[in-house]
């Protein structure tokens, strides 16, 4: 899990956080102050809203991976035990151990890193066209092999992204690392689908497993073609007059592909599915991590 965002207006909880000895002031303004634990792992925004002279709202952003690795991104796969341990330690440092049932998560990401043995991650990203009937779009010009169903300035309840993580951190992680993520973007989604009503629920290993089980299941809804010429332009929205034509272009590609090869998973996708399942096994059984 990553990018866990939470919020509360409970004054007892806010007072407890403001008295934490582990917070370091990052910036101040008239209506809000920003504190951090480390540089990237935990960000706390204490706000004064509705004309209040005292803090009456808190927003918390947690990146467990950065927290565990002392603000360094080393590409490791967090297992569930390490994740739970980190979240408990963060609750202690925020001084909210008795308030974890009050703090409400509003969004979270769940993802997996894999290193494909027989495929270039660049090709995999290029050939990934659809997720759950939504086109995977190139959304960042500075990241050429990064696709997401979430367009800029949109806020869907769930979205997916697939990208070449090895290019982001070439000197830190394996250069062919591929990442696939689900982003659960509303508190309602977390509550309805995963029974995550509070920070305390994030400390339940079974609930965390349910997030990753959904991620694995969501992989079934991604369309990846075995072969796609880079110069065909079919995967590039700029190749079309507008997004409607782009969606139709991908739909036609899918139809033509299935007519030629049949309605079954591609070989590439089957191999990736196996590798993802192995990653999940290691994440859920820590003893297998180093094998």
Q: How does DSSP assign 27-62, residue by residue?
A: EE-SSEEEEEETTTTEEEEEE--TT-SS--EEEEEE
User: Are residues 137 and 68 both part of a single domain?
Assistant: no
Instruction: Say if CB 198 and CB 102 are below 8 A apart.
Output: yes
- Does the pLDDT of residue 287 top 60, yes or no? no
Q: Of the spans 51-55, 155-159, 252-256, 259-263, which averages the highest pLDDT?
A: 51-55
Residue 288 binned pLDDT confidence (cut-offs 50, 70, 90): very low
Q: What total of structural domains would you count in the chain?
A: 2
Q: Check residues 215 and 100 and name the one with the higher pLDDT.
A: 100
Average pLDDT over residues 34-51: 96
User: Are residues 113 and 257 both part of a single domain?
Assistant: yes
User: Are residues 93 and 113 both part of a single domain?
Assistant: no
- Does the pLDDT of residue 243 top 50, yes or no? yes
User: Are residues 81 and 116 both part of a single domain?
Assistant: no
The rounded mean pLDDT for the chain is 83
- Does the pLDDT of residue 264 top 60, yes or no? no
Q: What count of other Cβ atoms lies within 10 Å of the Cβ of residue 154? A: 9
User: Are residues 141 and 225 both part of a single domain?
Assistant: yes
- Residues 268-283 have pLDDT tens digits of 667 667 777 776 677 6
Average pLDDT over residues 149-160: 82
User: Are residues 21 and 147 both part of a single domain?
Assistant: no
Q: What is the pLDDT of residue 269?
A: 67
- Residues 104-128 have pLDDT tens digits of 999 999 888 888 877 888 888 887 8
Domain of residue 70, residue span: 1-102
Q: What is the pLDDT of residue 219?
A: 82
Instruction: Say if CB 51 and CB 77 are below 8 A apart.
Output: no
User: Are residues 93 and 140 both part of a single domain?
Assistant: no
Q: Of the spans 88-102, 129-143, 175-189, 203-217, which averages the highest pLDDT?
A: 88-102
- Residues 172-187 have pLDDT tens digits of 888 999 999 999 999 9
Contacts of 117 (CB under 8 A, 6+ apart): 271, 275
206 to 4, 184, 193, 210: CA distances (angstroms): 17, 17, 13, 6
Q: What is the pLDDT of residue 254?
A: 65
User: Are residues 72 and 133 both part of a single domain?
Assistant: no
User: Are residues 195 and 245 both part of a single domain?
Assistant: yes
Residue 43 binned pLDDT confidence (cut-offs 50, 70, 90): very high
User: Are residues 119 and 70 both part of a single domain?
Assistant: no
User: Are residues 84 and 175 both part of a single domain?
Assistant: no
Residue 72 binned pLDDT confidence (cut-offs 50, 70, 90): confident
Residue 28 binned pLDDT confidence (cut-offs 50, 70, 90): very high
């Amino acid at each position: 899990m990553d990018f866990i965002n939470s919020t509360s207006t409970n004054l007892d909880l806010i007072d407890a956080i403001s008295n934490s000895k582990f917070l370091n002031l990052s910036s101040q303004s008239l209506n809000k102050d920003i504190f951090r634990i480390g540089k990237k792992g935990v960000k706390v925004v204490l706000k004064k809203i509705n004309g209040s002279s005292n803090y009456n709202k808190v927003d918390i952003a947690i990146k467990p991976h950065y927290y565990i690795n002392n603000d360094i991104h080393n590409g490791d796969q967090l297992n569930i035990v390490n994740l739970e341990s980190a979240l408990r330690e963060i609750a202690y440092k925020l001084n909210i151990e008795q308030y974890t049932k009050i703090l409400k998560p509003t969004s979270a990401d769940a993802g997996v890193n894999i290193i494909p043995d027989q495929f270039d991650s660049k090709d995999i990203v290029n050939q990934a066209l659809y997720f759950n009937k939504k086109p995977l779009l190139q959304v960042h010009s500075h990241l050429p092999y990064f696709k997401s169903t979430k367009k800029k300035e949109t806020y869907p309840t769930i979205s997916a992204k697939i990208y070449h993580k090895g290019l982001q951190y070439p000197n830190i992680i394996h250069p062919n690392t591929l990442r696939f993520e689900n982003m659960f973007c509303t508190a309602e989604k977390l509550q309805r689908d995963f029974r995550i009503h509070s920070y305390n629920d994030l400390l339940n290993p079974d609930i965390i497993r349910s997030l990753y089980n959904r991620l694995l299941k969501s992989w079934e809804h991604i369309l990846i073609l075995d072969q796609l010429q880079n110069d065909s332009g079919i995967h590039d929205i700029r190749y079309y007059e507008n997004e409607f034509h782009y969606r139709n272009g991908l739909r036609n590609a899918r139809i033509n592909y299935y007519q030629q090869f049949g309605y079954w998973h591609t070989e590439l996708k089957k191999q990736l599915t196996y590798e993802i399942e192995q990653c999940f096994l290691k994440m859920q059984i820590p003893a297998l991590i180093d094998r």
